[in-house]
A and B are shown apart, each in its own frame.
Chain A
Amino acid sequence: MIRHPGRDRYDAVIIGSGIGALTAAAYLARSKARVLVLEANSRFGGASETMEFAQGFRAPLLSHVAYALDWRAVRELRLAEHGLAFAQPNMKMVALRPGGKHIVLPEKSFRRRTSFAAQAGQEGLGYVAFHEEAVRFARLLRPLWDGTLADPRPENRDETLTTLIRRLRLTPADAERLESLSRLSAAAFADRWLENDALTAALSFDVFPSGLSPQEPGSALVLIWRYAQESCGRQGAVSQILGGFTALAAALEAAARKAGAELRSSARVSSIIVEKRRAIGVTLADGEMIPAKAVLSSLDARKTLLDLVPVGSVGFGTAASMPEPERIGTVQIMLALTGPPPIAGLGAGDLGGRVVIAGRPETASEAKGAALNGRMPEEFAIEATVPTAADAALAPAGCHVLSALLPYMPIVVAEGWDACRAILRKRVLATLESFAPGLKDRLVADCMVVPGDGKHDMADFRSSFWHMLASYEARIRTPIAGLYLCGRTSEPVNAVCGRAGRIAAGLVFMGSSHQTGSP
């Protein structure tokens, strides 16, 4: 990229400072572009926050583990030099079952398979077959999900699958299986190999970042996406960052600053300036205009294209095809404990894993059904972590924090969240208590974050078959030239990865080199 001395113009302006935005900023700055990051709040990092919810007790808000971190960005941006460290690079998964016969899936794929097969006998063999099939498909689809498949938008949506099959050079047999897979539900997919309902429920629980329930068609593909994150060893297996996503944001911020990016806080963007269907800059809330060759937004697609862009510049078709805002969200409950949670039948070493209480295979879908109708689910699936097991700095010495996520919760409850909060807290504590007798005695404080609290900066969105099978490029580009989306809505599912930021930076760079190349 060429600098324009004397001309006060940025090559790229980035709206928001989430993980995607900071990744894009660091990459663009590294390639000598003049980058400005505009953050509306007083601190950088977007929605990632490590919250001190009780005196001396801290826990990462909402995203308590990283599901699909872009390891390429971590490596290429040398984030370790900027202070990024992992409490656990690979987390095991522990599925709790009433009665104490918990299922422990170790962290490494290979070990997971062999050790699990040994421990579970016949059922273990089914799991091995399931795992092999899932990983095989994950390998086939990985080019799509790590951004290496440069795929121009297919001419019409209807041909997504056929285009994809051609581009990935799938054999007819694989193509047929992909076709059937894309309309299966995760529970049905797991059920092909597994007889055990608890195991099916636990394995299909992992589809929750997509907003689909494990019994909805298309969710099998989300499961495959999860395996695609895992299939090459370390790449994006579930990990816990030392200090949470705040630490990742800080490392990215340091990397971006070092490379020469400018970051401005308390600068709320009020609109994107569009001229001749091209984004040429942004206007701040105080009226300042900042011209730029490219604008990247890490806000969600709906907010960017419907609120920030002048009315009429995206066209009616695009505006109408934006999905309705999601009606289900996530609830987090954080517990401050005077000792480790006394989960019956679980060794101290397993506390560092993700502890999943998935219930029956239908639990999650029933919860989603209730949430869609604005009711509080009777039963819910819980993903709990004990961040202090590997990151002792989050709590006073000897004390622990338990963070529990409840996906498939209503964003708006009929009775109002204030009325339901206490009931939900009681239910969650009772559920946890049933698996960890004596937990209540160790509880000193707790805090619950519900969708109405305004902590959910980024709108949740649901993934769809079409959204997942589109290429990164199709999700990042917008109908407006020079305007790119690099936030969570550009990822295949709703998870913080940073991958969209990296790929968006590449697209911006390519776009600008085309321009400067022509007279």
Chain B
Amino acid sequence: MDRFDAAVIGAGPEGLVAAVTLARAGLRVVLLDKADAPGGRAATHEFHPGFRASLFADELPAIPHRLYRKLNLARHGAILSPAPASVCVSSEGVSLLFADEARLSRTVPAAALPGILAFRRETEALQSAIEARAFLSPGPLQRRWFRAVPGPARAASWPAGGWGAASLADALAVRIAEPHLRLHLAADAVSGRAVSPFLAGTALHALAPGVGRSGQPAAGLGRLAVALVRAAETAGVAIRCGVEVTDIRVAHGRATAVLATGQGQIEAAAIISALDLRQTFFNLVPWSALPAAAVKRAERFRMVGQRARVLFALDRPPELPLARESPDAACGPIHVAESLQALSQAHDVWRVGVIPHWPLVTLRVPSFADPRLAPIGKAVMTATISAVPTSLFDGNWTDSRRAKLAATALDAAERAMPGVSALVLGHQIIAGPDIEAALGVTDGDIEGGELAPDQVLGFRPFGGAQWQDGRTPVQGLYLAGPSAAAAPFLLGVSGERAALSVAADFKSGHLR
């Protein structure tokens, strides 16, 4: 029987960060994952002979610079660089928004520029406020999300009147007049999610955008995963893959051990779960160990699958017409969307379990940034289809439905990059159930819970100060996964916070 100071369940980015933080604090840490290789959401897999890609997402929330430096990720090979631009193709035309202000001013109409810059500045100020608050430690965060913080983040206290409960359409309408640019910015915000931009509370998505946030690894998410794994190995974390945790043992209200396939019982004073809230509470911990109130609140936590992905192996790199003038335009996300109305319609049918006809499709060609993902001369293209339900109202995911999804993705790709369908060598379709099976996330919700005003920041996973640092009602069990407070906004922070709580509890004698 093994005995460790801490066991971390799930070797995704959050779990890795938690394990590194604990190991550096001098604790003996074991990291368990049911997949064959660590990396979780960020890992890269071969989906077609010779072609590799991140299966579930092209981008995750940005890893904060402070954490990046602390973990020494540059030395381990993850170089961060923002996506240079994003492209939006709709029936009204094509628009290109550069991240760089000088280049932006050359491509958008002069009248629209101030609005876009104002929009960016406001969202960035709020994001840095959130980031600043995420590191105010130790102690409960709940109150602090709402208090003004000193310094530049001060102006952007949360919840901001316009951002707290407004609709995304309104938030865009007051700043930007051109419908096409509104659509472009909305697509950046909600890519990969099912959102009706006209409903209250959706402005929030602009603060936790699906794509386009600066600070992604230059060579794809897989590189970030590799760097985090190297950091963990360097710190002395015992990583055990292919090990599925089936139970968390609770005795006298205290988590004492995990049961893992092929490993038997692994005892640990502290257990950090980097799985989502439902998996942790409902599948791992015996119900009787949890207070009834906590069970009820966890039941009400809304988790719904919102995306599907199609990965394409291409015979040669596709051609984006815009990229002839600005070659790096093709390195960022390429949205194919109809209108804000269509986003709303897609959300509408998604709610009742129907695959939308005209969903928002976000295309990426990751092999532009990292040619090693494909054999020489060939390319990888991914399509993220938003508002695809995990459970369909009229039955299962049949092959014909999957094929239709691939056709939808290819149609969209054809609109943005004419001629691309002739290049396809093979494809893989990843629908909600596949994400659920591969990552073990409830309902295939890779983001660990719907992003709504009552489910973010101080209210995630539940409102209340005692929840904020990853602690749970079970002593010795900590939550670090995507359902934790900062997860939709920042990568790794919830893992670090949970680890810091563990370290603090060891110090104060709560854990032995």
Closest to B115 in A: A320
Chain B residues closer than 8 Å to A197, beta-carbon distance: none
Q: Is the CB of B200 within 8 A of A366?
A: no
Complex Cα spacing A398 to B408, Å: 61
Interface residue? A388 (CB, 8 A): no
Residues of B within 8 A of A176 (CB): 142-143, 463
Contacts of A366 in B (CB 8 A): 348, 351-352
Contacts of B156 in A (CB 8 A): 158
Interface segment, one of B31-39, B104-112, B160-168, B485-493: B160-168
For window 397-451 of B, CB contacts with A under 8 Å fall at none
The answer to the question of A300 belonging to the interface, with a C-beta cut-off of 8 Å to chain B, is: no
Q: List 18 A–B pairs whose Cβ atoms lie within 8 Å, in order of A's numbering.
A: A158-B159, A159-B157, A161-B161, A176-B143, A182-B159, A183-B165, A183-B201, A184-B454, A188-B300, A216-B200, A217-B201, A324-B170, A366-B352, A368-B199, A369-B196, A373-B348, A374-B341, A465-B164
Interface residues of A in 169-217 (CB under 8 A from B): 172, 176, 179-180, 182-185, 188, 191-192, 212-213, 216-217
CB <8 Å contact, B143 and A158? no
A493 at the interface (CB under 8 A from B): no
Asked if A185 contacts B454 (CB within 8 A), the reply is yes
Q: Contact check, B159 vs A161: say whether CB atoms are below 8 A apart.
A: yes
Q: Do A160 and B200 contact each other (CB < 8 Å), given the known contacts A176-B143, A179-B146?
A: no
Q: Measured between alpha carbons, how far is A368 from B199 in the docked complex, in Å?
A: 9
Q: Give A460-489 interface residues, CB cut-off 8 Å to B.
A: 462, 464-466
- A-contacting residues, B311-365, CB 8 Å: 341, 344-345, 347-348, 351-352
Q: Which residue of B lies closest to A324 (CB)?
A: B173
Number of residues of chain B lying within 8 A (CB) of chain A: 38
Residue A157 at the chain B interface, CB threshold 8 Å: yes
Q: Out of A321, A374, A465, which one reaches B200, CB within 8 Å? A: A465
17 further contact pairs, Cβ within 8 A, besides A372-B198, A373-B345, A373-B348: A157-B162, A158-B155, A161-B159, A161-B161, A162-B146, A172-B143, A183-B454, A188-B300, A212-B200, A217-B452, A218-B201, A366-B348, A372-B199, A372-B344, A374-B341, A465-B161, A466-B162
Q: Are A158 and B157 in contact (CB under 8 A)?
A: yes
Q: How far is the CA of A176 from the CA of B156 in the complex (A)?
A: 19
The reply to whether the CB of B13 lies closer than 8 angstroms to some CB of chain A is no
Q: Which residue of A lies closest to B197 (CB)?
A: A372
CB distance from A481 to the nearest CB of B (A): 24
Size category of the binding interface on chain A = 35 or more
Q: Is B68 an interface residue (CB 8 A)?
A: no
A136 CA to B321 CA in the complex, in Å? 61
Min CB gap A182→B, angstroms: 7
Q: Does A287 make an interface contact (CB < 8 A)?
A: no
Q: Any chain B CB within 8 A of the CB of A5? A: no
**Chain A residues closer than 8 Å to B200, beta-carbon distance:** 212, 216-219, 462, 464-465
CB of B259 closer than 8 Å to a CB of A: no
Assembled-state Cα–Cα distance A324/B166 (Å): 12
A511 → chain B, closest Cβ, in Å? 26
User: Total number of A-B contacts with CB less than 8 angstroms?
Assistant: 109
Residue B453 lies at the interface, judged by CB distance under 8 Å to chain A: yes
Q: Report the Cα distance A201→B159, complex, angstroms.
A: 28
| B residues in contact with A255, CB < 8 Å | none
A residues bordering B, Cβ < 8 Å? 156-162, 172, 176, 179-180, 182-185, 188, 191-192, 212-213, 216-219, 320-321, 323-324, 327, 362, 366, 368-370, 372-374, 462, 464-466
User: Would you call A217 and B454 a contact (CB within 8 A)?
Assistant: yes
Task: Give the shortest distance, in Å, between B224 (CB) and chain A (any CB).
Answer: 32
B169 at the interface (CB under 8 A from A): yes
Please determine whether A217 and B347 come into contact, CB atoms closer than 8 angstroms.
no
Which partner residue on chain A sits nearest B350 by CB separation? A369
- B143 engages A180 (CB within 8 Å): no
- The residues of A that contact B1 with a CB separation of less than 8 Å are none
Chain A residues lying within 8 Å of B175, measured Cβ to Cβ, are 320
Q: Which residues of B are found within 8 Å of A161, using beta-carbon distances?
A: 146, 159, 161, 164
Give CA–CA (A161, B453) in the complex, Å: 15
Indicate which residue in A327, A368, A373, A464 contacts B165 across the interface (CB closer than 8 Å): A464
Q: Give A58 to B474 CA distance when docked, in angstroms.
A: 64
Q: Are A183 and B199 in contact (CB under 8 A)?
A: no
Chain A residue, CB-CB nearest to B158: A158
Q: Give, as a whole number of angstroms, the nearest-CB distance from B418 to chain A.
A: 30
Q: Are A162 and B157 in contact (CB under 8 A)?
A: yes
For A324, the chain B residues whose CB sits under 8 A away are 169-170, 173
Q: Is the CB–CB distance between B348 and A370 below 8 Å?
A: yes
Question: Does B459 make an interface contact (CB < 8 A)?
Answer: yes
A409, chain B: closest CB distance, angstroms: 15
Whole-angstrom CA separation of A183 from B200 in the bound complex: 10
The CA of A440 and the CA of B351, in the complex, are separated in Å by 34
Contact assessment for B161 and A321 in the assembled complex, using a CB-CB cutoff below 8 Å: no
Set B142, B164, B351: member contacting A369, Cβ < 8 A: B351
Q: Are A466 and B161 in contact (CB under 8 A)?
A: yes
Q: How far is the CA of A156 from the CA of B164 in the complex (A)?
A: 14
Chain A residues whose CB sits within 8 angstroms of the CB of B198 once the complex forms: 327, 372
Identity of the chain B residue whose Cβ is nearest the Cβ of A185 in the assembled complex:
B454
Is the Cβ of A369 less than 8 Å from the Cβ of B347? yes
Chain A residues closer than 8 Å to B344, beta-carbon distance: 369, 372-373
Q: Are B300 and A191 in contact (CB under 8 A)?
A: yes
Chain A: CB-nearest residue to B459: A180
For A320, give the chain B residue with the smallest CB separation.
B174
The smallest beta-carbon distance between A224 and chain B, in angstroms, is 14
Compute how far the CA of A327 lies from the CA of B157 in the bound complex, rounded to whole angstroms: 31
Query: What is the distance, in angstroms, from B301's C-beta to the closest C-beta of chain A?
Result: 11
Residues of A within 8 A of B452 (CB): 183, 217
> Min CB distance, B266 to chain A, in Å?
37
Is A158's CB under 8 angstroms from B161's CB?
A: yes
- Give complex CA distance A366, B354 in Å: 14
Q: B351 to chain A: which residues have CB within 8 Å?
A: 362, 366, 369
Q: How far is the CB of B346 from chain A (nearest CB, A)?
A: 10
Determine whether the beta carbon of A183 is less than 8 Å from that of B159.
yes
| Complex CA–CA separation, A138 to B459 (angstroms) | 22
Cα of A159 to Cα of B157 in the assembled complex, Å:
8
Centre residue among A179, A188, A366 by max chain B CB count within 10 A: A179
Collect the chain B residues with CB atoms within 8 Å of residue A156's CB.
155, 161
**B127 to A: closest C-beta gap in Å:** 15
A464 to B160, CA, bound (A): 13
Q: Separation in Å of the A31 CB from the closest CB of chain B?
A: 34
CB closest residue in chain B, given A184:
B454
A residues less than 8 Å from B199 (CB atoms): 213, 216, 368-369, 372
Nearest CB of B to A266, in Å: 36
Contacts of A323 in B (CB 8 A): 170, 173
**Proximity bits, B165-208, A CB within 8 Å = 1, else 0:** 11001100111000000000000000000001011110000000
Cα distance A182–B453 in the bound complex, in angstroms? 9
- Chain B residue at minimal CB-CB distance from A157: B161
Question: Smallest Cβ distance from B412 to chain A, in angstroms?
Answer: 20
Which residues from B are CB-within-8-Å of A157?
Answer: 160-162
Q: Which residue of A lies closest to B160 (CB)?
A: A158
Contacts of A217 in B (CB 8 A): 165, 200-201, 452-454
Q: How far is the CA of A369 from the CA of B162 in the complex (A)?
A: 22
Q: Give the residues in chain A near B166, CB-CB below 8 Å.
A: 464-466
CA of A502 to CA of B450, assembled, Å: 43
User: Which of A320, A370, A464 lies at the interface centre, i.e. has the most chain B CB atoms within 10 A of its CB?
Assistant: A464
Q: How far is the CA of A182 from the CA of B201 in the complex (A)?
A: 11
Interface centre among A160, A217, A218, A320, by most chain B C-beta atoms within 10 angstroms, is A217
- Which residues does chain B contribute within 8 Å of A182, judged by CB atoms? 159, 164-165
Cα(A181)–Cα(B192), bound, Å: 28
Q: Mark B127-171, 1 if CB is under 8 A from A, else 0.
A: 000000000000000110010000000011111111011100110
> How many whole Å from A294's CB to the nearest CB in chain B?
28
**B165 nearest CB neighbor, chain A only:** A465
Residue numbers in A under 8 Å from B201 (CB-CB): 183, 216-218
Task: Give the residue name and chain of the B residue nearest to A179 (CB).
Answer: B146
Closest approach, in angstroms, between the C-beta of A305 and any C-beta of chain B?
A: 14
B341 engages A373 (CB within 8 Å): yes
Please, how many angstroms separate the alpha-carbon atoms of A236 and B104 in the complex?
54
Q: How far is the CA of A327 from the CA of B463 in the complex (A)?
A: 33
